Amino acid sequence: MPTLFLDAALWRLMAFARKRPLLVGLFWAALAALSLFQVATRLSINTDSSDMIDPSAPFRVAATKLKSAFPDLDDQVVVLIRSGTADEAKAFTESLAERLRDDENVESLLAPPAEPFFQENGLLFLETTELEDLLARLTNAAPLIERLGPDPTLATLFDALAEAAEQDGASADPETLDALYAGLTEVFTTQDTVLSWEKLLSVGEEPEPEVLLTIEPVLDFTKLKPAQGVKTAILDAAAAVRSEDGLEAEVLITGEPILRTEELEAVSQGIGWALALSGVLVAVLLAFAFRSLRLVAACLVTIALSVILTAGVATALFGQLNLISVAFAVLMVGLGADFSIHLLMHWKDERGLGASERAAGYRTARKIGTALMLTAPTTALAFFSFAPTEFIGMNQLGVIAGLGVLLAFLIAMTVLPAMVRIGETVKPVDRLPEGLMNKVIRPLGIVVGALGIVSLFLLPYARFDADPMALRAVSAPSVIAFNEIADDEDAAPYRLSVLAESEDELLARADGFSDAETVSSTRHLFSFVPEDQDLKLTLIDAASVGLSFALISGGDLGPDLEPALGRLLVALREEESEAARTFETVLRERSLQQLESAAPRVFRFWPRQREALNAQLRAGFVTREDLPDPLAERFVTESGTYRLEILPEGDASDLAARRDFVDQVLSIAPDAAGSARTALSAGDVIEGAMVQASLTAAVLVSLLVLVVTRSIKVLVLLLIPLLLAGSLTTATGTLFGLPYNFANVLVLPLIIGIGIDSGIHLALRAEKTGDPLAGVRGPTGRAVVYSALTTIASFGSLIVSAHRGTSSMGALLTIGMLWVLATMLFVLPPLAQLLYDRKRSRLERTSA
């Protein structure tokens, strides 16, 4: 294995640094200062996962075309307003929308309960039969509505209910009366329940006590968090509604801008905590490894320089990091320590054996020079294998980390010789006993090898999670809101859109999906023009004859509360329904003061309901031009390009259902774009990128090792443990519910790139000495263990991140490095013994 030129090259580099420490120090310090300035002034983070895919990919081309026509479509903020009753939710929404309309952070908003168009024409959007039932119910309740008037009292209500009961429901249908009895019972028996008149006067399904409000925000891209302004404006306006209007509602905010803002917070905080934690853990491990503050400090200096200079390179090359490449800082903590650990461990050992300072450096270069000179380019090549993929997130990290590895090598090989002086009193590294192979390593090697073979059968069950939401923090408010509205058809996140240049084309394209089983409905501009308007308006006009008078009535002052209550109790005795009997019991158990104290909660939303009914009776014929601008702008451009929205049937958050939906839509409209297609297609691209990068890394690293060492044995000793480690990592992730995703797809290529370092050191020691345990027993084995542990510590620190993608990256990398350590320590030596024992047997037979 003619590699003496590598040993000599490393020694010359170390000797140069040793002779010129001041020059070396000034050189790296100047570069570090320049890097810090670049990072502070230019570096930013892009949290848009779609930007991590090559823009020439077909789904990106379709998405770009849709975005150019409707640039604000993906930047909408969705607000979910949830309260105790539908009445309060709508009242809260109206007040919130009124405050936000003039806010500088809001371009436009669409809040149906607060839109005059929907307030007046809402009845036209009901099915004809549903409208008939509602109008019949309202007509029956007209006498009750008339008596209550705009400012009713509890006495008026009780007297009206008594009259209705005495007339067997002539002034209100039995269903309405029972609902009113049940509602009043709840109000009188609780401390905070408010009567929902919306619920009492509706038909069909009970109205939901929540409202969706969509906002087109003004995003400030000069700031790190462009959507922070609109988020703050919404929360401040909601607080004002609570304090000034006395309304209560839960306000949940989501939408891509908010999701990205909170994701950036999670990633930034997670990387910050991980970086700090990894630094502490690595420092502790180095202290155990060297038991010398000077050597630990020297290692930490090389690590810090590696991180800073790599950040400077990243800023100079890209200027903007993504959710994947931002992890380079934590990775470089582990990678930056590897070369220093191997160099100092052997240098210290040689000094302990009695070599002079210079001789110790020379012997270290002769002993591990080839390994050190080979591990830097092999690891860098593994990272550079990310570059040809379509996944820009992986591509960017590969370039940054690849260059970072080379920088870390140069820093360690120059800074350490320049600043480190190891005294004569150090002890050599303890050697493990020779009997270790038979007692420990071979049995454990058999176990690990067997597990590796078993793990191959689990590989078909490994999966890739293509949902970007799988990356985000579960506890983030925007993610909670997203999950809450995921099943709401009006806000379903996984949908598709196609474009049309005319009304005829739009309607034709909509008809094309009428028989699609995976499509629940299509929606376009003309979908919001109600059908059968003539018939519906006739029904409304007929009902308004009696209702209009009831709604303009001033109401009935009625008797005092006590006689009204007495009359109602007598009337309730004749009622047979369960609701009436329960209501009678509650009334008898309450004093007049208790009932009067609940009156504000009974009538709190009555005036608003009365005004809403009055507005609905003013419905008129609706045309396309009558649609509110915030709604129309979502479906047609000023140039006349129409958008057709396609909604999925069933639960599109289920991966299989979503794929069926996307496949069927694309078979009808290949130009369809939207979140449903983007998530799936991006997943397919990234899954392919992981396989491509892994194979590329394996091939490039293998070729380099073969060219440098010219040894098939060394290559075999490296590849078999790596293949086992990769299979075991994937199988472990499958068993413990850690699928591959957008963030952790780089695990397998990283295992090849980083894991091969340990193998190279052990394999080359075995090749040079012919002893399979030569590397394990001495300083090489100890350096391999501590190098792997520092890498695990730095990668494992990512687990603390609230961002699930970053956390899963740390978890899988930790698992992967543990398996790398196990296969290199327990599988490689017995394999080397098998190969070199045969070599020695042949030599002995030839000699004989």
Rounded Cα distance, 738 and 808, in Å: 7
Q: In terms of Cα–Cα distance, which of 745, 801, 808, 798 is closest to 265?
A: 801
The answer to whether the CB of 749 falls within 8 A of the CB of 386 is: yes
In whole angstroms, give the CA distance from residue 154 to residue 136.
26
For 75, the token pair is: 């930047």
Closest CA to 754 of 764, 746, 745, 766: 746
Which SS3 state, helix, strand or coil, does residue 649 take?
A: coil
- Angle value at C-alpha 478, between 476 and 480, nearest 5 degrees: 70
Amino acid letter, residue 762: L
pLDDT score of 332: 83
CA distance 59 to 682: 8
- Characterize the bridge pairing of strands 44-46 and 320-322: parallel
Q: How many whole angstroms separate alpha carbon 696 and alpha carbon 649?
A: 40
Note the pLDDT of residue 112.
Answer: 86
Comparing C-alpha atoms, which of 143, 147, 156 is closest to residue 558? 156
- φ, ψ of residue 821 to 5 degrees: the values are -60, -40
- One-character DSSP codes across 59-124: HHHHHHHHHHHSTTGGG-EEEEEE-SSHHHHHHHHHHHHHHHTT-TTEEEEE-GGG-HHHHHHGGG
Question: pLDDT at position 239, please?
Answer: 95
Cα 186 versus chain centre, distance: 41
The span from the CA of 597 to the CA of 20, in Å, is: 89
Whether 473 contacts 750, CB under 8 Å: no
Exposure class string for 403-442: b at 16+ Cβ within 10 A, else e: bbbbbbbbbbbbbbbbbbebeeebeebeebeeebbeeebe
d(CA 161, CA 568): 7
Sorted by where each starts, the structural domains of the chain and their CATH numbers stand as 4-49+260-465+680-847 (1.20.1640.10), 54-69+479-530+625-679 (no CATH), 76-119+208-254 (3.30.70), 142-200+531-608 (no CATH)
Q: How far from chain centre, in Å, is Cα 798?
A: 15
CB atoms inside a 10 Å sphere around CB 285: 23
Distance CA 219, CA 753 (A): 40
Let me know: does 140 contact 173? Beta carbons within 8 Å. Answer: yes
Please answer whether residues 792 and 743 qualify as being in contact, where contact means their C-beta atoms are separated by less than 8 angstroms: no
Q: What is the pLDDT of residue 424?
A: 61
Which regions in the chain score pLDDT beneath 50? 1, 840-848
Rounded distance between C-alpha atoms, residue 14 and residue 7, angstroms:
11
User: For residue 753, which of 335, 273, 275, 420 has the smallest C-alpha distance?
Assistant: 335
Q: What's the token pair of residue 627?
A: 């649609």
- Contact yes or no for 689/54 (Cβ under 8 A): no
DSSP alpha helices (H): ranges in 736-803?
A: 747-769, 774-777, 779-796
Burial call 512-538: b when 16+ CB within 10 Å, e when fewer: bbeebebbbebbbbeebbbeebeebbe
pLDDT for position 843: 42
Q: Tell me what pLDDT residue 277 has.
A: 85
Q: Please name the residue that has the structure tokens 């590989």.
A: 459
Contacts of 330 (CB under 8 A, 6+ apart): 271, 274, 275, 278, 794, 795, 797, 798, 810
pLDDT tens digits, one per residue of 680-739 = 888 788 788 888 888 888 888 888 888 887 888 888 888 899 899 999 999 999 998 888
pTM of this prediction? 0.77
